[in-house]
Amino acid sequence: MTLTRHCSVCDDDRVFEQPPCDDGHGADCPDLMCSVCGMAIVIGDAPEVPVVVRSQAA
């Protein structure tokens, strides 16, 4: 599937395509990628990133 969307990196309307989907969505994958610069539009949950909290010794 291809769609025309505004690409914020190219600062113009560009064709966006579905990249290969590792999540098993197939043709229903909501992620899109600019066919010119590769900027991605990712929809859905972002992977969890561990949060490191450090205290400062007084």
The tokens for 3 are: 């769609």
Which residues, given as ranges, of the chain have pLDDT below 70?
44-48, 57-58
| Predicted pLDDT at 26 | 80
| Predicted pLDDT at 24 | 83
The tokens for 26 are: 């197939």
Q: In what order do the strands lie in the sheet with 12-17?
A: 2-7, 12-17, 32-34, 40-41
The tokens for 14 are: 């560009």
